[in-house]
Chains A and B, each alone.
Chain A
Amino acid sequence: MSTQYVLEVNNLNVSYGDFLAIKDVDMRIREKTVTALIGPSGCGKSTFLRCLNRMNDLILGTSIKGEVLFKNHNIYGSDVDATEIRSRIGMVFQKPNPFPKSIYQNIAFGLKVNGFTGDMDEAVEKSLRNAALWDEVKDRLNDSAFALSGGQQQRLCIARALAIEPEVILMDEPASSLDPIATLAIEQLVRNLRERYTIVIVTHNMQQAARVSDETAFFMVGENRSGYLVEHDGTQKIFTNPDNERTEEYITGRFS
């Protein structure tokens, strides 16, 4: 684990219109780690995640104060192109959302959009292998993505994100709509991906966070329903001996 911070969040405040969704968040994320974001519903975990690749820009009325540094550059700076950020910080969503195209074309889309000029077949195979999906689909690359099961579709979405070789992968509850076996497959994948990528994963499932992550950040709902960061530390510490009383209460299930 290197000590270089790939993502640094300073004093982040996010409002949707008049509603302050996230208040004063500071966080530093190291390269090639898995950081889990946990907390009760509505505490702003997904909002926070979406700030990291500027997906919140697409929601009207969002205003962001503070800065998010990606390798020491503020991604909200005026000279920064959001599409470049998103090609280097990828995202996987809660519900699998493959395009209504073939498996092959799903992966090829991101490559085409970013002007890939190499061997497309090879690149598609590589990302499907990295997402542990190649063996299951190699004979039916031209089938519709919808022919796959839920777990396979989610791995396809991960493969799609991996195709353009981002540096960070953001996952918003990637396994919450999947059955337990598919969930385990995703978790295994996340553990393997850690060798090459920095991963930030939002999860409702504390056991999952404990199994999969190196560091855990616990968010809570504060006054006026604004979310804030309570504690961020190594996963072992958070789950066995957290500093903050609120963290302990959440971990032990006194509220969820």
Chain B
Amino acid sequence: MVPQNDTTRINLSPRRKFRKILGAFFYTIFLLSVCVGIIGLAILLFDVLTKGIPWLSWHFITEYPSRHPEEAGLFSALMGTIWLMVLTAIFTVPVGVGAAIYLEEYAPRNFFTRFIEINVANLAGVPSIVYGLLGLALFVYLMDMGRSILAGSLTLSLLVLPIVILASRESIRAVPNSYRQAAYAMGADQWQVIKGVVLPSAVPGILTGTILAMSRAIGEAAPVIAISALVYLTFIPAHPMERFTVLPIQIFNWVSRPQEEFRGLAAAGIIVLLVILLSMNSIAVFLRNRYQIRSEE
């Protein structure tokens, strides 16, 4: 070490060797924490991929379920999922974005607004089965929609609405106030400011939030089981009032069967679901990156 001549300095004992070891130790612990998650995920994926890939085929995607595993496919569940996602998006986006616009641009800062905000945040944490039961009571029975896609998508909309509202609020809040000031200074009224300046800037963030909300909705089995019940369908829905089934339900259905082959089919179904999910998330990430580049110009 560098020699020190000053003998009057205060007494320090930094124990540098020990601290180096301690540092390395904690680094390892934190690294292992990350690995636990990654290894767990990797094992799951490996299991699903090895069991499922043999069963993946064009036939698998375009055929209906069957008692015979070789002939079974998930066409009805796939179409049901797509129907459900589209309808859910149609209900969720206008209502969610509208609510966010109201809360961010119009609502006065008073108790009532605060009350709404707290409730929206809490609703995001309510277990999805509760939404399922709500949907069952309200849409299926009270409003007499039956166990239809309409009832299912309305229920899922309620489930993911808080996510869309929160994400949209964040995006709207992120629009710099200087843009609003500039717009007002030219004689624009509030709606013109929102429509011409705030929303166009907030759209990428809103879009990202919507896609992430849909990613959550696509995998929700509990509320959809409550609405549609565990059905075995061999047709695809032609209109929103028909009965339906979705990928998570079909997967669950196959997993419950005793025969080994159905396990493989279930794994293949999981792969299809994961592919759809990953694509949606990739689009969300892509959009988010593009948005960040634009706003950092």
Q: How far is the CB of A167 from chain B (nearest CB, A)?
A: 12
Interface residues of B (CB under 8 A from A): 109, 176, 178-179, 181-189, 192, 196-197, 200-201, 294-295, 297
Are the CB atoms of A90 and B185 closer together than 8 Å?
A: yes
Q: A residues bordering B, Cβ < 8 Å? A: 53, 55, 58, 60, 83-88, 90-91, 93, 95, 97-101, 109-110, 112-114, 144, 146-147, 157, 160-161, 164
Measured in the bound complex, the distance between the Cα atoms of B197 and A86 in whole Å is: 17
The answer to whether A110 touches B178 (Cβ under 8 A) is no
A114 touches B295 (CB 8 A): no
B179 touches A95 (CB 8 A): no
Least distance between A196 CB and chain B CB atoms (Å): 18
Q: Which of B183, B186, B196, B200 sits near A164, CB closer than 8 Å?
A: B186
* B182 A93 Cβ-Cβ under 8 A: yes
A86 to B189, CA, bound (A): 10
Nearest to A58 among chain B residues (CB) is B184
CA distance A33 to B297 in the complex (A): 37
Can you give 27 contacting A-B residue pairs, CB < 8 Å? Answer: A53-B185, A58-B181, A83-B189, A84-B187, A86-B187, A90-B186, A91-B185, A93-B181, A93-B185, A97-B178, A97-B181, A97-B182, A98-B182, A99-B183, A100-B294, A100-B295, A100-B297, A101-B200, A109-B186, A109-B196, A113-B187, A113-B192, A114-B186, A146-B297, A160-B182, A160-B186, A161-B186
| Chain A residues within an 8 Å CB radius of B192 | 113
Chain A residues with CB below 8 A from B297, complex form: 100, 144, 146-147
- Determine the chain A residues whose CB is within 8 A of the CB of B183 once the complex forms: 99, 109, 113
Q: A55-B184, A91-B185, A157-B182 are in contact. List 17 more A-B contacts (CB 8 A).
A: A55-B181, A55-B185, A83-B188, A85-B187, A87-B186, A90-B185, A93-B178, A97-B176, A99-B197, A100-B295, A109-B188, A109-B197, A113-B186, A144-B297, A146-B297, A160-B186, A164-B186
- Specify the chain B residue showing the minimal Cβ separation from A88: B187
Nearest Cβ on chain A to B189's Cβ, whole angstroms: 5
**What is the distance, in angstroms, from A137's C-beta to the closest C-beta of chain B?**
16
For B179, what are the chain A residues with a Cβ–Cβ distance below 8 Å? 97, 99-100
**Minimum Cβ distance to chain A for residue B172 (Å):** 14
